[in-house]
Structure 1
Amino acid sequence: MAVFACAGCGTVLTSPVSQVALPAHAHQCHGHDLLPALLEPGTYAVDPEPSGPPWRKWEEIGAEEAAARGVYAPTHALSYGPPGAVAVAPGDVRGTVLILERCDGYCCGLDGRDGPNLACTRCGHAVATLIDDCSCWQVVWLDPRAVRLLDVDAPSRRVLSWEDLPEQPETPPVEPLGAWSPVWEAAVAVALAHLLAASGGMRVVVPDGPVADAFRPALDALLPPRSPAKSLALAGPGLPDTAADIALVPRHPQTGETWSSCAGSTVPLAADVWMYVAFNRDRRLRPASGGLPEGVYRDDPPPLLPAFSFRADRGVFLHTLARLPEVRQPWLRAIYDRAEDNRSSHAFWR
């Protein structure tokens, strides 16, 4: 286990935490309601990309410099801040005070638009940014320049083996009010970007069930219907390996590692979402009409069904696809441009 301390005076700023993989929805904006905490208590995640000001517009940077920074398609602006921001749950933060002149937000809370808004209580240095506005996952981002990691003598969380994953909680695709889970919308968006890159521009044959409900509409809208085609299959712990062209595999929630498969290409999907699509293949995820046949009764609550067809998160999709070198291929760049211009609105949410 570890704690993070102020780099200036050494004040401990967090409770003991252990590292997990950065969630796919870390920078997602969703709806207009308050969202829960990004991370579970007692955990932290590191964002390898630069974050925060200063920002530079694409027109100032150019394609060559952007590619050197790992971005291969035009985006509005790129951060030239430091890489390595550390995300922790707001309840795990200690020894900080709000910087009142940096507490702006859009609606119901703080969105970090003015930079770090938490200061160390002992020395007063800005150390972190609290985000808790509507549409944002609640999180505190520790500034990597202002904090340092210290090992502490505390019981460490056990790193799950792949065999343990099927016993972990799944993330259900539908929320109680009938809306699709934003976690699903982000996780599928990341996987969809990788899946398109692995397709080589060919049609992808998707297995029936939750995988088809989540991926087939977007793939049918974005890829040509002509043959030949590549096959997609699930692979991972608890499933036999596959000889398909592309394997949809879990991404470990703690280490971020991707399951190894003998398929030609692998596409990572967040483990909590992967487990649902892998082990609940008989559950329908499409909107349904009508009721039970006459004379059929049941006293158990039926599974939740969404009010509309699934759509991946467009913002997360674009962010992911722009950082895959394959997007420089003309056919995939055309898909990116259509999605960026919102000309593929039927395939994406927002």
Structure 2
Amino acid sequence: MFVFVCAGCGVELTAPLSQVALPVHAHQKYGNGTQLPALMEPGTFAVDPEPWGPPWRTREEIDSNEAAARGVYAPVHALSDGAPGAIVIAPGDARRTVLIPDDRAGGYCCGLDGADGPNVACVECALPVASRIDDCSLWQSMWLAPNAVRRRSLDGVDAAPLSWTDLMAEGKSTAPFEPIAGRGSRVGAGHWSNYGWSWSPRWEAAAGRVLAHLLVASEGRPVIVPGGVVAEVFQRALDTLLPAGPPARRAVLAGPGQPSPRRGTDVVLVPTHPQTGEIWAPADSAAYPVPLPFGVWLWMVSPERDVPVPASGSLPDGVLRDDFDTPALLPGRLFRADWGVFRHTLVRLPAVREPWLRELLDSLGRHRLAGVFERRIRRRSPCRVAREAVGADWLGH
């Protein structure tokens, strides 16, 4: 366990925390006025190894060799020149901090977006220490500035990460759909789908990363994935993006508790450890491993058939009954992967420099295919247009 302390005065700024892997959807922008929950579970933190936050450098200011040295192999709208190693926590785990009452406390319309740099200070010495994010369409979070805090280990022995067997026994899967509401609205207002149920933003983000890896693994050939929810999530996009005709490469689900991939399997969809970020690797297999968040992978291998949702009755508006006997209604549209996460992943895979893949990426950047990628654009207030003109909201994350 750790706490983070102010680099200026040493006061503790967080509750005791355990480290977990950075969520795939950490920098996701979702919807237009949608209300998202906290990014991190209480009592946890994650570290972003890449620079994050202002100042930004636009595409014209970034030399391709410099970008490649930073692990970016195709042009992006902008790259952060901030310090790497930002630490993200749940807002409720912050201690002895206060908002900075100036222009940096601004956002789009419903809250704070952190686009201007740290907007939270240490209450003791007033050192800017973090960026609070709670605006609409962004995951609520607190990003500690790596050059303004220090990590302090607490007395005692840290618990070892759970084994794959323990993770399977816990059975914490992530459902592919969930209630989504706009700011100021109640769940059940019909936002995007019947009764407020939408495809999960977590699944759309995970699919964006997976789809980038599947394109690389395809080597320009068709890819066939398993049926059921896996096919519903990926097959339509793969059939649209990849050519028909050449012999297809086959992808299978693999991981703890699953049969070993057959000899000759081309691609395996495998889980990442939620605490360490380790990718599960099958023994004696040359297949290309495609990482899935553990909760998403677990649902794919063991889907729950009838996910209950609260049933409404004669109670007042905004009050949900506590009987859960109504099956969940499926979202009212086909699944689409998150464009931002897809692009962020693909430009960081060296294979994107191959001509066919670079051409595909460039064409998608100009003409994104309707129904394949989900990229919902947040409304922009006039005061943000100047910043976005130089790419702050179209960064490579």
Answer yes or no: is 1:114 the counterpart of 2:95: no
Following the alignment from structure 2 to structure 1, what is the Cα–Cα distance between the partners of residues 363 and 326? 41
Give the counterpart letter for 1:248 in structure 2.
Answer: L
Does the aligned pair in 1 maintain the 2:3–2:15 contact within 8 Å? yes
In the other structure, the counterpart of 1:69 is: 70
1:173 to 171, 176, 182: 176
Give the counterpart letter for 1:134 in structure 2.
Answer: C
Answer yes or no: is 1:4 the counterpart of 2:4: yes
Does the aligned pair in 2 maintain the 1:52–1:115 contact within 8 Å? yes
Give the counterpart letter for 1:116 in structure 2.
Answer: P
Alpha-carbon shift at residue 137 of structure 1 (Å): 0.2
Following the alignment from structure 2 to structure 1, what is the Cα–Cα distance between the partners of residues 300 and 339? 21
Does the aligned pair in 2 maintain the 1:318–1:339 contact within 8 Å? no
Following the alignment from structure 2 to structure 1, what is the Cα–Cα distance between the partners of residues 287 and 115? 43
Cα deviation digits, residues 201-258 of structure 1 (max 9, x gap): 1110111111101110110111011121111000001111102210000011100000
In the other structure, the counterpart of 1:334 is: 359
Q: Indicate the SS of the match to 2:235.
A: helix
**Which 10-residue stretch deviates more, 257-266 or 97-106?**
257-266
Q: Indicate the SS of the match to 1:85.
A: strand
Following the alignment from structure 2 to structure 1, what is the Cα–Cα distance between the partners of residues 157 and 176? 33
Q: Indicate the SS of the match to 2:223.
A: strand
Does the aligned pair in 2 maintain the 1:52–1:81 contact within 8 Å? yes
Alpha-carbon shift at residue 63 of structure 1 (Å): 1.6
Answer yes or no: is 1:306 the counterpart of 2:331: yes
Give the counterpart letter for 1:278 in structure 2.
Answer: V
Alpha-carbon shift at residue 90 of structure 1 (Å): 0.2
Does the aligned pair in 2 maintain the 1:174–1:304 contact within 8 Å? no
Does the aligned pair in 2 maintain the 1:209–1:281 contact within 8 Å? no
1:240 to 230, 249, 259: 259
TM-score normalized by structure 2? 0.82
Give the counterpart letter for 2:67 in structure 1.
Answer: A
Between Structure 1 and Structure 2, how many residues are aligned?
A: 336
Does the aligned pair in 1 maintain the 2:216–2:352 contact within 8 Å? yes
Q: Indicate the SS of the match to 1:316.
A: helix
In the other structure, the counterpart of 2:161 is: 159
In the other structure, the counterpart of 2:310 is: none
Give the counterpart letter for 1:14 in structure 2.
Answer: T
Q: Indicate the SS of the match to 2:3.
A: strand
Give the counterpart letter for 1:345 in structure 2.
Answer: A
Following the alignment from structure 2 to structure 1, what is the Cα–Cα distance between the partners of residues 365 and 88? 28
Q: Indicate the SS of the match to 1:207.
A: coil
Following the alignment from structure 1 to structure 2, what is the Cα–Cα distance between the partners of residues 33 and 112? 17
Query: In angstroms, what is the RMSD of aligned CA positions?
Result: 1.7
Alpha-carbon shift at residue 302 of structure 1 (Å): 3.2
Cα deviation digits, residues 30-81 of structure 1 (max 9, x gap): 0122210000000000000011222111111122221111111111111111
Q: Superposed, which structure 2 residues align to 1:241-280 within 5 Å?
A: 241-243=260-262, 244-261=265-282, 262-280=285-303
Does the aligned pair in 2 maintain the 1:118–1:130 contact within 8 Å? yes
Q: Superposed, which structure 2 residues align to 1:198-217 within 5 Å?
A: 198-217=217-236
Q: Superposed, which structure 2 residues align to 1:95-134 within 5 Å?
A: 95-101=96-102, 102-134=104-136
Give the counterpart letter for 1:326 in structure 2.
Answer: A
Following the alignment from structure 2 to structure 1, what is the Cα–Cα distance between the partners of residues 273 and 236? 26
Q: Indicate the SS of the match to 1:192.
A: helix
Alpha-carbon shift at residue 155 of structure 1 (Å): 7.5
Alpha-carbon shift at residue 14 of structure 1 (Å): 0.2
Alpha-carbon shift at residue 169 of structure 1 (Å): 1.6
Q: Classify 1:313/1:307 alpha carbon distance in 2 versus 1 (closer, same or farther; 3 Å).
A: same
Give the counterpart letter for 2:371 in structure 1.
Answer: H
Q: Classify 1:121/1:201 alpha carbon distance in 2 versus 1 (closer, same or farther; 3 Å).
A: same
Following the alignment from structure 2 to structure 1, what is the Cα–Cα distance between the partners of residues 171 and 158? 18
Q: Indicate the SS of the match to 2:35.
A: coil
Following the alignment from structure 2 to structure 1, what is the Cα–Cα distance between the partners of residues 305 and 123? 54
Alpha-carbon shift at residue 154 of structure 1 (Å): 5.9
Following the alignment from structure 1 to structure 2, what is the Cα–Cα distance between the partners of residues 36 and 107? 17
Alpha-carbon shift at residue 282 of structure 1 (Å): 7.0
Following the alignment from structure 1 to structure 2, what is the Cα–Cα distance between the partners of residues 230 and 270? 23
Does the aligned pair in 2 maintain the 1:232–1:246 contact within 8 Å? yes
For structure 2, the 5+ residue unaligned runs are: 180-195, 308-323, 376-397
Following the alignment from structure 2 to structure 1, what is the Cα–Cα distance between the partners of residues 56 and 21? 26
Following the alignment from structure 1 to structure 2, what is the Cα–Cα distance between the partners of residues 59 and 126? 30
Following the alignment from structure 1 to structure 2, what is the Cα–Cα distance between the partners of residues 154 and 61? 46
In the other structure, the counterpart of 2:145 is: 143
Alpha-carbon shift at residue 170 of structure 1 (Å): 1.1
Give the counterpart letter for 1:259 in structure 2.
Answer: W
Alpha-carbon shift at residue 165 of structure 1 (Å): 2.1
Alpha-carbon shift at residue 343 of structure 1 (Å): 2.8
Percent identity reads: 58
Give the counterpart letter for 2:111 in structure 1.
Answer: G
